[in-house]
Amino acid sequence: MPLVANSELPAFAALRAEGETVLPREAALRQDIRELHIGLLNMMPDAALAATERQFFRLVGESNQIAQFYVHPFTLAGLERDAEARAHIRQYYEDFEEVRSAGLDALIITGANVTQPDLALEPFWRPLIEVIDWAYNNVTSTLCSCLATHAVLQFRYGQKRRRLPDKRWGVYPHRITDRRHPLVRGVNTRFDVPHSRYNQIDRGQFEAAGLTVLIESEAAGVHLAVSADGFRLVFLQAHPEYDTVSLLKEYKREVLRFAHRERDDYPPFPEDYFTPQVQAILGEYAETLHAARSNGKPIPEIPEGLITPHLDNTWHDTAEAIVNNWVGKIYQVTHSDRRRPFMDGVDPEDPLGLRTRPD
């Protein structure tokens, strides 16, 4: 069954407006169907808070249709928020203590903006470790996205990310490197995934940590890796949850930073994202913006209406398939009491039976 609107969080209404199926809580309670409770530790900055909710909720809701999905958003106190975001969190989010007390079947941890050269210096570092340590021992599987992947690799495996010469930004082709793993079963052998980051964990670091790389890009590096047991920790370094327009929104933000003299250079295009026609439109816009900035005139609006019809999404189906596999395995190995992370008879060190599976 679909997502259950277990609160008045606006993301549920937004997903309904997109055509997604979201079940009212009252209707869900009348159905004799097992529930799965999935936490969302949302560490994204204020401007992306609601969009990130929708993106991950959408992927969960489009997956395994044999359960009701209750999603529990929460965040960390160490993240700086403006008044509007704080009000949103107070009204719609749960406290970590509430989540810990009730238990979860699975957990998703988003990325975050950072301000320090070392992740260990960030104000959210200790609270994040507390959440991940709890989840490792009490939640069947935790999916770490982007910054969360880098944080776990650093504090649990001693592998620090490295700074890239330039921002890794665009849509890149990827290939599956281990087709036997249940998380990539039924997934195309080649597909695209968006990346957007200044730092990277390299393949050798994943392997040195004893992790298995499942998906990689020759141009952009590792996308998907898993812990030694194949499931307890799932690492994403790219952004399969992105909307079709997400990179456009990021590009627009960087253009406005240039317009307001917050960056010196005009931002480059995300790689392999804009069509030649869109690049021409944005090239004309750049000339108009340069002239306006030089003459002290108002900054013109980016013509998004001319651009969005030419943007393609070449990654969502694959993301949906992987999350569907993830949720399906969680359903198979969890107990109906979500305070018990594994069913009787399932080896918590090898929940997928990977060690006994023939090559």
Q: From the candidates 37, 53, 88, 146, which is the catalytic residue?
A: 146
Question: How far apart are the two ends of the chain, measured CA to CA in Å?
Answer: 34
Q: From the candidates 241, 250, 254, 320, which is the catalytic residue?
A: 241
Instruction: Summarize pLDDT for 286-310 with one digit per residue, the tens.
Output: 999 999 999 999 999 999 999 999 9
Identify whether the C-beta of residue 42 lies closer than 8 Å to the C-beta of residue 86.
no
> Of the candidates 113, 71, 79, 74, which has an alpha carbon nearest to the alpha carbon of residue 323?
71
Instruction: Summarize pLDDT for 175-227 with one digit per residue, the tens.
Output: 999 988 999 999 999 999 999 999 999 999 999 999 999 999 999 999 999 99
Q: Specify the residue for token string 């019809």.
A: 309
Per-domain residue ranges of the chain: 3-242+313-356, 246-310
Instruction: Summarize pLDDT for 3-51 with one digit per residue, the tens.
Output: 777 888 888 888 888 777 777 777 656 566 678 899 999 999 999 999 9
List 163's β-bridge partners, or say none. 199
Q: From the candidates 53, 239, 250, 254, which is the catalytic residue?
A: 239
Instruction: Summarize pLDDT for 234-291 with one digit per residue, the tens.
Output: 999 999 999 999 999 999 999 999 999 999 999 999 999 999 999 999 999 999 999 9
- Which pLDDT score is estimated for 335? 64
> Of the candidates 74, 62, 65, which has an alpha carbon nearest to the alpha carbon of residue 7?
74
Q: Specify the residue for token string 């104000």.
A: 123
Alpha carbons 354 and 290: distance in angstroms, whole number: 57
- Which pLDDT score is estimated for 234? 97
239 is catalytic: yes
Residue 23, SS3?
Answer: strand
Alpha carbons 203 and 208: distance in angstroms, whole number: 9
The identity of residue 287, as a single letter, is: E
144 is catalytic: no
Structural domain 3-242+313-356, CATH architecture: 3-Layer(aba) Sandwich (3.40)
CA distances from 61 to 4, 33, 53, 115, 214 (A): 9, 15, 12, 33, 24
Alpha carbons 102 and 337: distance in angstroms, whole number: 10
223 is catalytic: no
pTM: 0.89
Identify whether the C-beta of residue 122 lies closer than 8 Å to the C-beta of residue 114.
yes
Helix axis angle for 125-138 and 147-155, nearest 10°, is 80
Percent of the chain whose predicted confidence (pLDDT) is above 70: 90
CA distances from 352 to 167, 232, 236, 251, 345 (A): 36, 10, 19, 40, 12
DSSP assignment of 102-138, as one string?
Answer: H--SEEEE------SSSGGGSTTHHHHHHHHHHHHHH
